[in-house]
Structure 1
């Protein structure tokens, strides 16, 4: 009969093995191989990439932008209605832009944000997915011991394989069920066997009774993740609302700039005519030289204002192009073709406030934050309880193998069984951390409620401000329209006085300037009125609905819990894109500024040359006393 196998572990052999290993490790460390392959290098200097290597994405540059110094070119004019402007902005809204002065910038929101916010829901659900575990371990153990019969240290060798499988699953009540099968195989003589198998099959269940128990507490992370996904949706909707409002604002600002440019061009034209007339008279006698100098000063100031007006048109068109997602220059001039409305709109204050309180995305977002914090409070209050778990388990133990005599023996599957049942109680003596977390959530809920009340207060004030601004702009427009008509009449009257030699040229110069300022103010007030109407829809949270904008979910195929072979194409949300807007605004085949009746100025002569004249030298002025 064979006995255990003993291995001679002499001190000389062990010393040689340890010495060889130490020498190899020392050489590797000395040459830096160990540090290079196992341990990361220390950061002893500042690192950065080359600019051209780090910035790899490019886009071709477009034509050179037009400036006030650009010579007149035969650029094609493209009529652009407000309906078309909104449609283009929605088409190019992969990244949502907002208006910022004379430019547009990214709001930080994209069409992918809401789809990204869906993934934490599956992450929260993942802890309730079954977990499969399999293991297989080969082993060979040599245990040294002192042989009492001989003055030497021998070794006992055992070898074999341990393998098993196990499936665990956690349910929504917090309990965890497990079923597993394991086997231990020994290939050397042990326990009277030349080889043996020890199979074990077990089932167990653990159910929390206090902390971790209950469907509400276990579902709280999933519900909170869903609420966060809804927050992302309303944040996206709020950004889209600002995009629509800012497109409308950029559109009317361009209309205002083009109208003011027209007024400044007429102002320069008329002031130049006055100066040329006085210059011709000044050549005859010195009596008209001061009047000519005054006319030239007024004309020069008007020309500077004209340069500013032209630059403003270019900047406003560039801002509109930016927010629409168009290049800075494409060889075309955008010409707005939607006339501004002058209609007075009656508002019902209570209905507007109620609509805003139920429709504004930012207010809905605050309510969702409150709901999510309440779910976290449920979870934290549950975790603040002591841990009391009920456990139960049952195990079937087997044994089979070949004896040292060569016979095969085995035990029946139900001959040897184990069972356990009990409870495990664990509690920190102070519960300091868990109760602090509960208190933190209670304070966050109080903060959320305060933020909601503040937002309701703020919304009402914003709506009131918007209504006051609407009425102010409309009445200012009506007043400036009358001022424009009066200024045009004043120009005619001053010209009649000058022809009758009852007044000086200064009165006519002031009258022309007053008329141009009145036109600019009229355009500013009416376009601001139209912009503020859109802003009121933004403040009430209905601007997307009034423009017929709806969202469409785009889907894409991605690997899911069941793997590629079990998934269908388009199985997950990819993005949330806005659809086309419903045509709402009037469209005409003429520039929007034509709505301001651009032909009403009392002209008296054509435009003169554009060169800057020089006043002939006059007598020297006396020194001041």
Structure 2
């Protein structure tokens, strides 16, 4: 009968150690990054910032430590928001946290180094059949093991171990030492055999990381849109203050003119009520406009968070509510862009891929467990520590080959898990279709709003010009005494409304463009903002 020699066992043990220890850098079949299809070491840091060339045409904003006003363009306001907004800072941690769960899943395939050290002492009684009497026996032992093992994506578990046992007993004159070198291999033949099922948890964790990046992108896109909409609302509010302030001066001048005419008897005293009412109304509107601008200023400061002290700091926007000529593409082109770029739709696609991996995992769970194991060891016996290791080429060895089978009768839990995974995948598929429909509705509605807002500008300009002519005519009639102060005040009020409507139409048009870009997922790209999730990802099995 053939027996393994000490040299054979030692060579086999060293070979196993050479396979296990460098497993994290080795090629197939245990290179986890290669098996998963993504190299985590090259993953970009999940940050959101403006590209270097995004502010080429505008100086980088300077935030003084004093209470000097902030003079900002919309690009500079976006820059400050991306640098300082606290909510964005909080959100940027999510991909980093999700990435650590991926590392936890990867740790299942890390090499495991273990060691055991056991000391035992016992006193027992034994019956001697030769003399028919009992006697006490004392026994003292020390055992030490050191080994390494690793689980591979192929369903294989490799192991290597060195052990030494020392035994002392009052029934033997000498100490007994046993040294052993052993290797083992266990291979899953059914459940846990395939790479797809063994790597499913890592791939799902990776998808969670990517999903958090899409969430970060969607949050950043909404934040930039909120900032720009608030910025233009603030511009509109300041312009309304100027218009109301100017109209108040006109109303006061009209009141003084009416009072002079009443004094000389040209007009009846009843004409004063209309003039004074118009002045009071202008003051009321001016107060409301100033309060609205103050609220918007505080909202801008909260979004940009430019430093302390901040709540009292004034903001001077340098942008003017001027008409910009943007030629929109066909609505179907914007829809196609949104179907490719929208962060929430891409995240829904990731969730669908996760459900597919659930099916892989639960299908593996339906299989019975059948493992093949092989262990090989070489032992040496002696009365001294060193001689026990020298005796490894002696007669002592152990060899075990076998299998283990396990199956739950009915397998109800595994079958239920599989059904849940199938229903969840169908649900995720429906969710992707639902989100895609909502994306198309959002983009088409926003595209129509841009068209409406653009046409509304021309209409408000025409209305304002006609009301200017009407006011001039009423004022001329008032000078010659053929009209009343009430009609002049009404004409002034109509002109004021048309002036504000014109500015509001321009701002609404710009805000409609911002909303369209946000809904199609291109706002960050158009603003030169770099953020994770810029392009959809492709995965194994899609």
TM-score interval w.r.t. the shorter chain? Answer: 0.7 to 0.9
How far residue 164 of structure 1 moved from its aligned partner, in angstroms, is 1.0
Residue 181 and residue 76 in structure 1: after superposition, are their counterparts in 2 closer, same or farther (change >3 A)? closer
- Report the equivalent of 1:235: 215
- Report the equivalent of 1:324: 304
CA contact (8 A) 2:178 2:388 kept: no
How far residue 109 of structure 1 moved from its aligned partner, in angstroms, is 5.0
CA contact (8 A) 1:117 1:229 kept: yes
How far residue 212 of structure 1 moved from its aligned partner, in angstroms, is 0.7
How far residue 385 of structure 1 moved from its aligned partner, in angstroms, is 1.0
How far residue 203 of structure 1 moved from its aligned partner, in angstroms, is 1.8
Residue 185 and residue 475 in structure 1: after superposition, are their counterparts in 2 closer, same or farther (change >3 A)? same
Given the alignment of the two structures, is residue 384 of structure 1 paired with residue 366 of structure 2, yes or no? yes
CA contact (8 A) 1:317 1:334 kept: no
Superposed structure 1 runs of 4+ greater than 4 Å apart? 75-78, 144-149, 152-155, 280-287, 407-412
How far residue 378 of structure 1 moved from its aligned partner, in angstroms, is 0.6
How far residue 176 of structure 1 moved from its aligned partner, in angstroms, is 0.9
Distance 2:532 2:391 in 1: 65
- Report the equivalent of 1:473: 453
- Report the equivalent of 2:78: 86
Distance 1:552 1:373 in 2: 23
Work out the number of aligned pairs and report it: 463
CA contact (8 A) 1:401 1:409 kept: no
Q: Which has the larger radius of gyration?
A: 1
Distance 1:372 1:409 in 2: 52
How far residue 310 of structure 1 moved from its aligned partner, in angstroms, is 0.7
Distance 1:371 1:180 in 2: 40
Distance 1:146 1:226 in 2: 64
Aligned ranges 1:245-394 → 2 under 5 Å: 245-282=225-262, 288-327=268-307, 328-329=310-311, 331-394=313-376
1:418 counterpart (398, 401, 424): 398
2:439 counterpart (456, 459, 467): 459
Considering only aligned residues, what root-mean-square deviation do their CA atoms show, in Å? 3.0
Distance 1:187 1:352 in 2: 84
CA contact (8 A) 1:380 1:438 kept: yes
Residue 344 and residue 122 in structure 1: after superposition, are their counterparts in 2 closer, same or farther (change >3 A)? closer
3-state SS, counterpart of residue 294 of structure 1: helix
Worse overlay, 528-537 or 316-325: 316-325
Q: Which runs of 5+ in 1 are unaligned?
A: 1-74, 97-107, 554-575, 577-625
The TM-score with structure 2 as length reference comes to 0.79
How far residue 388 of structure 1 moved from its aligned partner, in angstroms, is 0.9
3-state SS, counterpart of residue 389 of structure 1: strand
Q: Deviations over 1:565-593 (max 9, x none)?
A: xxxxxxxxxxx9xxxxxxxxxxxxxxxxx
1:396 counterpart (378, 384, 387): 378
Q: Between Structure 1 and Structure 2, which shows a larger proportion of helix residues?
A: 2
Residue 241 and residue 408 in structure 1: after superposition, are their counterparts in 2 closer, same or farther (change >3 A)? closer
1:139 counterpart (112, 116, 120): 120
3-state SS, counterpart of residue 212 of structure 1: coil
CA contact (8 A) 2:161 2:182 kept: yes
3-state SS, counterpart of residue 111 of structure 1: helix
Given the alignment of the two structures, is residue 173 of structure 1 paired with residue 154 of structure 2, yes or no? yes
1:509 counterpart (489, 498, 510): 489
2:528 counterpart (515, 524, 548): 548
Residue 247 and residue 308 in structure 1: after superposition, are their counterparts in 2 closer, same or farther (change >3 A)? same
Distance 2:183 2:93 in 1: 45
Distance 1:153 1:495 in 2: 133
Q: Which runs of 5+ in 2 are unaligned?
A: 1-66, 535-542
